[in-house]
Amino acid sequence: MSSNPQQSASGDSELINASIAQLRQRLESGELRATELASTFAARIEAIDPRLNSLISRVDPVGSADADGRLAGIPFVHKDIFCAHGTRTTCGSRMLADWVAPYDATVHDKLSRSGAVLLGKANMDEFAMGSSNENSYFGAVANPWDEKAVPGGSSGGSAAAVAARLVPFATGTDTGGSIRQPAAFCGVTGIKPTYGRVSRFGMIAYASSFDQGGVLAKSAADCAEVLGEMAGFDPHDSTSVNRPVPDYYTTLDDSIAGLRVGVPKQWFSEALDPAVGDAVQAAIDELRAAGAEPVEIDLPDADLALAAYYLLAPAEASSNLSRFDGVRFGYRCEDPKDLQDLYERTRSEGFGAEVKRRILVGTYALSAGYYDAFYLRAQKARRLVAEHFDRAFEQCDVIAGPVTPTTAFDRGAHSSDPAKMYLEDIFTIPVNLAGLPGMSVPAGFVDGRPVGLQLIGRHFDEARLLNVAHQYQQRVDWHERMPSIAVDSSNQ
Amino acid sequence: MSLTNDQLQAVAHLARIAIEPDWTDALRSDLNAILEQADKLGDPRLNELEPMAHPLDQTQFLRADVVSEGDRRETLMAGAPAQENGLFLVPKVIE
């Protein structure tokens, strides 16, 4: 095994599949230089990404040579929703196609201080609204396991980039499933922390009472390392939670013997593809083999959660996205005849169809005479769903189930039917309503497309989720499998 | 609950989004399919519940009342589509 820079531009397979801890060890020993590592991954992006379109922008690596943080020299990409000073930050929208961020998101600031090296900005559904990454102004993203399939969304570029081993990790955000669902579809590990755990400052807002930043990486161990660096109190975010961040890495090896794993019986219904259900059940059996004790739990009303979310999130979006007015930043229409025309045409031309649909639904739900029937009722449904989780966690320590009803669907399959597309989020949305932490962990394949196991914890129980996921990953190798697009090119 | 074309135009005006005429029918049918899901919220179990606005019951913290950002006007205005002398330019508002 050699880290000779003369080697193929695409890098050797051991290097691209190495854990962050292994990369750090090689960097610290001097066997590998940070610049070599960055150029290895930059070359992979150059060679492979034209087939995937996982990145909107590439960024020339600017790592500080004397960085000595935990992530010193480790390359990554941001979902293009995170501001990084001086980089184009588009949020997947024509509205921000040429907008250059004038400051750093707290997440970017923290990762930079830790020494991580930004290589690009990942493709995403416009303003994080979508479950297939087909709503990007910068084009759809291919799933590395099957280019006919979607990578999921909205953090589809982040998931595809990690799956194809273009970077060791990527940031993402999850409002209704946007980390977990693409992680499941692309066979990578993703964690959405508790609401308030990771700062939203500099993360372009979609639905502020749900939005939460997180990580997509190859393994739970890598997620643990990165999340520890990203998380923490931020006075710039009014909903940031002021409590200490544990070292998630140190509890990965804890035994899960006796751990009560709640399995929601309602989630294994006719809505779930039986083959996906079998893979998830096999993963739960593996947890049992590791000493955990599965218990059946009640988690009803997922359909109500979905209905509530698809009013509440658009309502918040309609307010958040009112800032895009063609005056202060971003796109402006040509030759507006008056101020009204400026606003209306700028927003009509600058936003894509799904964003407009959600703004309109949200505006309607908040408009005079409808507020009580829609918004208030949806907030009550949110309470009901949160109470179901409270009751479930009286009987168990973590919840395990599917992330999605099916594996990745074909590109174009749902794009003409938004209401059907929303059903993709039926198992992820309840978690966002309650603000709980959730993970997606690779748990097998159906017809060559990955399946995700979802783990859900109590508020601020990220350490436990990562521990359970890591213990699972000690027993299986699904997370180490690479799609052929990643492997073939490393043999070039 | 279903939207008429007039209601759609009224909402579009509130949202300051111009709707292309050839999109109106398809858009209206999409929005109605989405709003149809909201019928589930008529569930009587919801009647007595407190609305939940935020996932954690926490109170808003206050930061120290000191200037933290300084003057960043030029940097922040650099992304504006039209500006002059530190002002955003818009079409004439008063004749």
pLDDT tens, position by position, for chain B (95 residues)? 689 999 999 999 999 999 999 999 999 999 999 999 999 999 999 999 999 988 887 777 888 889 888 888 888 899 999 999 999 999 988 87
Residue A348 in any domain: the answer is no
Residues with Cβ within 8 Å of residue A151, at least 6 apart in sequence:
A54, A132, A133, A141, A142, A143, A144, A157, A159, A160, A163, A182, A185, A186, A408
Which of A321, A322, A325, A361 should be substituted to probe chain B, the one whose Cβ sees the most B Cβ atoms within 10 Å? A361
pLDDT tens, position by position, for chain A (492 residues)? 333 333 444 456 788 999 999 999 999 999 999 999 999 999 999 999 999 999 999 999 876 555 789 999 999 999 999 999 999 999 999 999 999 999 999 999 999 999 999 999 999 999 999 999 999 999 999 999 999 999 999 999 999 999 999 999 999 999 999 999 999 999 999 999 999 999 999 999 999 999 999 999 999 999 999 999 999 999 999 999 999 999 999 999 999 999 999 999 999 988 899 999 999 999 999 999 999 999 999 999 999 999 999 999 999 999 999 999 999 999 999 999 999 999 999 999 999 999 999 999 999 999 988 888 899 999 999 999 999 999 999 999 999 999 999 999 999 998 778 887 888 899 999 999 999 999 999 999 999 999 999 999 999 999 999 999 999 999 999 999 999 999 875 544
* pLDDT tens-digit readout, B54-71: 888 777 788 888 988 888
Residue A347 in any domain: the answer is no
Q: Contact A364/B3, CB-based, under 8 Å?
A: yes
DSSP tag of A445: E
Q: Which residue of A has its CA nearest to B35?
A: A361
Contact A385, A308 (CB under 8 A): yes
Q: Is A447 exposed, middle or buried (0-12, 13-18, 19+ CB in 10 A)?
A: exposed
Q: What is the pLDDT of residue A12?
A: 67
CATH number at residue A443: 3.90.1300.10
Closest Cα in chain A, distance from residue B25 (Å)? 13
Contact A442, A185 (CB under 8 A): no
Contact A206, A83 (CB under 8 A): no
With beta carbons under 8 A apart, name residues in chain B contacting A345. Answer: 18
Per the document, the length of chain A is 492
The total domain count for chain A is: 1
Closest Cα in chain B, distance from residue A315 (Å)? 11
3-state secondary structure of A226: helix
With beta carbons under 8 A apart, name residues in chain B contacting A99. Answer: 79
Contact A152, A133 (CB under 8 A): yes
Nearest to A357 among B27, B49, B78 (CB): B27
Q: Is A229 exposed, middle or buried (0-12, 13-18, 19+ CB in 10 A)?
A: buried
Q: Contact A361/B34, CB-based, under 8 Å?
A: yes
Residue A353 in any domain: the answer is no
The number of CA neighbours under 13 Å toward the Cβ of B60 is: 5
Q: Which residue of B has its CA nearest to A326?
A: B81
Residue A334 in any domain: the answer is no
Q: What is the pLDDT of residue B1?
A: 60
Per the document, the length of chain B is 95
Residue A336 in any domain: the answer is no
* pLDDT above 90: percentage of residues in chain B: 61
Q: Which residues of A are catalytic?
A: 79, 154, 178
Task: Classify residue A309 as left (phi > 0), alpha (psi -120 to 50) or beta.
Answer: alpha
Q: What is the pLDDT of residue A489?
A: 58
Residues with Cβ within 8 Å of residue A342, at least 6 apart in sequence:
A325, A326, A327, A332, A333, A336, B90, B91
Sign of CA dihedral A482, A484, A489, A492: positive
With beta carbons under 8 A apart, name residues in chain B contacting A306. Answer: 37
Q: What is the pLDDT of residue A470?
A: 98
Q: What is the pLDDT of residue A62?
A: 77
With beta carbons under 8 A apart, name residues in chain B contacting A239. Answer: 54, 56, 58
Whole-angstrom distance, CA of residue A434 vs CA of residue A195: 9
Q: Contact A100/B61, CB-based, under 8 Å?
A: no
Q: Contact B51/A382, CB-based, under 8 Å?
A: yes
Q: Which residue of B has its CA nearest to A96?
A: B79
ipTM value of the model?
A: 0.95
Q: Contact B45/A384, CB-based, under 8 Å?
A: yes
With beta carbons under 8 A apart, name residues in chain B contacting A210. Answer: 55
Residue A244 in any domain: the answer is yes
Contact A334, A313 (CB under 8 A): no
Residue A296 in any domain: the answer is yes
State both tokens at A363.
């505006």
Q: Contact B92/A338, CB-based, under 8 Å?
A: yes
Q: What is the pLDDT of residue A492?
A: 45
Residue A460 belongs to domain spanning: 13-301+382-490
Residue A365 in any domain: the answer is no
Q: Quote the strand ranges of A101-254, DSSP E.
A: 117-122, 169-173, 189-192, 213-217
Whole-angstrom distance, CA of residue B29 vs CA of residue B82: 37
